[in-house]
């Protein structure tokens, strides 16, 4: 598992549009995706690999195999495109949480499933932390403006809250637990492990990305969160 980006203003001329549409139709026919979706997926790859500053409109358009004018047409600028990638990142994370079925009558089991779902999603989408790291380097300039993560993350927090509240009502979980801190703890454990997988594997002289190692870390995450939540 691996995720293995200069920008200059561009003026789209009317006569350039007909020729630009050719790669749009060809690409959509092959992938079944719209031009905007193809560009968005390509941008995610480029931003994750090279970062915001290292990305360029030219490089992204080459990755998407489309004319640069299409990128400007759909997203306005590299900044607008990064904002779209960031919002899509939050959206996909929210979809993963929404699709998870849990049994609130079993708070311990439900909380374990929520944590493992977060871990599995992060493994399948390693560019998640790379995209978010880029936004942190930009000091969150897109958040609260063109991107509002709250509307995407609130369902995940609500799901976690309902799970913990059920456990509190049953005397299983602490009444003073902070839901936000619980979420941060789980995501931090996933983030540190995945972002440092190569250096940690070298340091400990073992492959931290083999199946057994990843499964064990998932259980460490679950045990940590449960110990944090459970009443004494």
162, two tokens: 């309902």
Q: What is the average pLDDT across 65-80?
A: 93
**More confident: 46 or 96:** 46
SS3 175: coil
pLDDT at 109: 96
Q: What is the pLDDT of residues 134-166, one digit of tens each?
A: 999 988 888 877 666 666 667 778 889 999 999
User: Following CA atoms 181, 183, 188, 189 in sequence, which dihedral angle do they give, to the nearest 10 degrees?
Assistant: 110
- Domains in the chain (CATH in brackets) are 14-76 (1.10.10.60), 83-229 (1.10.357)
Percent pLDDT > 90 in the chain is 65
Which residues contact residue 193 at a Cβ distance below 8 angstroms, ignoring those fewer than 6 apart?
Answer: 200, 208, 217
pLDDT at 158: 86
Q: What is the pLDDT of residues 86-124, one digit of tens each?
A: 989 888 888 888 888 899 999 999 999 999 999 999 999
**More confident: 73 or 9:** 73
98, two tokens: 């929404």
- pTM of the predicted structure, to 2 decimals: 0.77
């Amino acid at each position: 598992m691996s995720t293995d980006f200069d920008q200059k203003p561009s003026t789209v001329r009317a006569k350039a549009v007909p020729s630009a549409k050719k790669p749009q139709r060809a690409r959509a026919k092959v992938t079944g995706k719209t031009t905007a979706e193809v560009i968005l997926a390509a941008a995610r790859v480029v931003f994750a690999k090279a970062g915001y500053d290292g990305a360029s409109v030219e490089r992204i358009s080459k990755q998407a195999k489309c004319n640069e004018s299409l990128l400007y047409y759909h997203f306005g600028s590299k900044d607008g495109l990064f904002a779209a990638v960031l919002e899509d990142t939050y959206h996909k994370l929210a979809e993963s949480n929404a699709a998870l079925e849990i049994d609130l009558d079993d708070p311990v089991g439900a909380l374990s499933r929520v944590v493992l779902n977060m871990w599995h999603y992060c493994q399948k989408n390693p560019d998640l932390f790379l995209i978010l790291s880029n936004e942190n380097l930009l000091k969150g300039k897109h958040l609260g403006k063109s991107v509002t993560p709250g509307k995407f993350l609130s369902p995940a927090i609500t799901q976690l809250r309902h799970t913990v509240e059920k456990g509190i009502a049953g005397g299983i979980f602490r009444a003073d637990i902070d839901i936000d801190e619980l979420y941060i703890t789980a995501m931090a454990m996933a983030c540190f492990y995945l972002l440092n997988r190569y250096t940690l594997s070298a340091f400990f002289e073992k492959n931290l990305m083999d199946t057994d190692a990843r499964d064990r870390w998932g259980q460490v995450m679950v045990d940590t969160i449960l110990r944090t939540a459970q009443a004494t």
